[in-house]
Amino acid sequence: MATPFVFSKDIATATTIPADWYTDPAVLEAEKEHIFCKTWQLVGRLEQLQRPGDFFTCSVVDEPLVITRDTAGTIFAFYNVCKHRAGAVANGPGHRKTLQCSYHGWTYGLDGKLMNTPEFDGVENFDREKFGLTQCVSIRGDRSFLSVSMMSHRRYKRSSVQLSPKPYA
């Protein structure tokens, strides 16, 4: 358990937080829940997605993400997890027309829609529309930076962002 700390508004009596706050796993978990999951987190730069088909992977609060620019130029942020067996659909930065899980080859468009499911032909009651990649709550661009929100609060809608290829244009 972290050392207790009392914050003082009076600079004359102020002290720094205890050293164990930097290493205590319980403090980290509290920060994830109360700070990182509730605020915008920088994930990359717009220049990483210059062309339709560009993508990169990252992690926010231990969640694997893939950030894509589709053929229409729209930027999306998805959990980098295949809906079939939870394998990653992308690794590192790159340029592709689709994202594909290496486990069973499920293929997704850069807009997250499920496109191909090898050896699933004829499976009854399988609705492809329900198995697209899960979008993060929101992504936004600010000049040349990209940030995601992991908030699940109702007032935030899942969204993508349409940005100019030249952020200062």
Answer yes or no: is 131 within a domain.
yes
CATH number at residue 97: 2.102.10.10
| Dist CA 81 CA 20 (whole Å) | 34
Answer yes or no: is 25 within a domain.
no
The domain in which residue 117 lies consists of 42-162
Answer yes or no: is 35 within a domain.
no
Q: What is the CA radius of gyration of the chain?
A: 20
Answer yes or no: is 9 within a domain.
no
- The number of domains in the chain is 1
Q: What is the pLDDT of residues 101-147, one digit of tens each?
A: 998 999 999 999 999 999 888 888 888 889 999 988 788 887 789 99
Residue pLDDT tens, the chain, 169 long: 788 888 889 999 989 989 998 999 998 988 888 888 888 999 999 999 999 999 999 999 889 999 999 999 999 999 999 999 899 999 999 999 999 999 899 999 999 999 999 988 888 888 888 999 998 878 888 778 999 988 754 344 455 555 444 443 3
